[in-house]
Amino acid sequence: MSTENFELPDVGEGLTEAEIVSWHVKAGDTVELNQTLCEIETAKSIVELPSPFEGRVVELFASEGQTVDVGKHILSIETAGASSGSETPTAAPEAPAADLEFDAAQADAASTVSTEGAESGANSVLVGYGLGDAPTTRRRKKSAAPAQPTRPAQIPAPAQPSHRPPAQAPAPVAGGAQPQARPGSVPAASASPIIAKPPIRKLAKDLGVDLSQVEPTGLAGETTRDDVIRHAQQASVFKNLETPIWGEVREEKHPVKGVRKATANAMVSSMFTAPHVTLFTDVDATRTMEFVKRLKASPDFAGVKVSPLLIVARAVMWAIRRNPTVNAAWTDEEYTIKHYVNLGLAAATPRGLIVPNIKDAHAMTLHQLAQAIEQLTYRARDGKTPPTEMRDGTFTITNIGVFGMDTGTPVINPGEVGILALGTIKLKPWVFEDEVRPRMVTTLGASFDHRLVDGDVASRFLADVATIVEEPALLLD
């Protein structure tokens, strides 16, 4: 027997310290290789730390909520001797990604949706100290008892694909009757099983929605994300439907740490380093809204969230090609114009504001971009954004319209020279074809680093974005 001390690692983002959010083990527990020990919160995301040893937990050196420096011991594990130690150095760089891709918390999603498996793999690379043979061990464990973590209602759809066509066939003919019959029946024996992907089931669980009570609108009779959110009477996953009541405590003090500390440092650095210049323009977005409606009805976009943000994102990348100076980085010695777009999307999360980015967004099709935006948004909401998605952004969009705001003066993300704010899109009187008509109108606001971006370039860029929002068909040219 030997005792191994586990040190807080640098998860790949120049980490100096992290807070222990929650422990998944306690003293006396037996742990396996790559079993999750705890969750830590860095300045950018929440990361799970897997065990590099197998054995028995002897002692925890840090408590939940405590901030620990990188390299400090956080727990000790009593191992069986040389077996664990001899295996540890054999870890291959890509082994952790293969192993953690099948994390128990995301097992359903990883086995059904390949893109989500890739995301989990991206997260696992952050730690980078799992064992080479661990994937085999974890996969055998999962396959031995696949039904344990899965609800009975989930079994019929994936396990018996041959029964799906009969269940889907009558949907167009008697679409109104089936949703009423489903709640009173037993899902496992129902003639019309609930069809929903694992991410949709997870969303329903998070929102407290019974899928048997949701009327599906998918083309194949499946329950979509919009169905779940609509049933929960919740326009946004971040929207607070209840007004909290103040307690007896008159004031609350909170330490400045994590995402809040990182945001504060970034905003101060940006505002007092880059001289901001901000422009605004009103845009008739009626055709964009019509285009979004057509995309939602298209079978090619079934199961993918489509919103005006998707069209604006494509418009931004089109405008960047025509005005490349806005897609650059500035230093006092030189500036670098980038011929690629890592598109940042400001995300309001329960932990604070973060700006993950979509790598090489310029090379994606419209469908690929829609998927990337959706996946990035839900990773941010769940606190699972990997540090790799927080680095190397080239231009940012902040969608303040989802909060009902017309416009704002966005602050440039450090390391970039431009940011676009998309306001709410609503019906307003607008002069169209020499007549005042009701049109869907929005306001675009954009800030630029005036050290590099001159007024004429900034104006042309914003005008180009507005052109596409007014006539998205130009993207097809």
362 counts as catalytic: no
> Rounded CA gap, 12 and 9, in Å?
9
- Exposed, middle or buried: residue 336 (CB in 10 Å: 0-12, 13-18, 19+)? exposed
SS3 content of the chain, % helix, strand, coil (to 5): 40, 20, 40
> Rounded CA gap, 51 and 48, in Å?
10
Q: Are 28 and 9 in contact (CB under 8 A)?
A: no
Q: How many CB atoms lie within 10 A of CB 42?
A: 23
Q: How many CB atoms lie within 10 A of CB 345?
A: 23
Q: Which residue has the tokens 């330490």?
A: 255
Question: Six-digit token pair at 32?
Answer: 């396996």
* Alpha-helix residue ranges (DSSP H) falling in 252-393: 258-271, 286-297, 308-322, 366-381
Q: Indicate the residue type of 278.
A: T
- End-to-end, the C-alpha distance of the chain in Å comes to 69
> Rounded CA gap, 200 and 178, in Å?
20
> Which positions ≥6 away from 62 have C-beta within 8 Å?
20, 68, 72, 74, 75
State phi, psi for 175 to the nearest 5 degrees. -65, -25
State phi, psi for 265 to the nearest 5 degrees. -65, -40
> Rounded CA gap, 377 and 473, in Å?
26
Helix pair angle (286-297, 455-470), 10° resolution = 50
Question: Six-digit token pair at 69?
Answer: 């420096």
Local structure of 96: helix, strand or coil: helix
Q: How many CB atoms lie within 10 A of CB 330?
A: 17
State phi, psi for 447 to the nearest 5 degrees. -110, 145
Q: Are 382 and 289 in contact (CB under 8 A)?
A: no
Q: Are 418 and 42 in contact (CB under 8 A)?
A: no
Catalytic residue among 24, 73, 276, 450: 450
> Rounded CA gap, 128 and 124, in Å?
7
Q: Which residue has the tokens 């004429």?
A: 456
Q: Which residue has the tokens 């009757």?
A: 177
User: What are the catalytic residues?
Assistant: 450
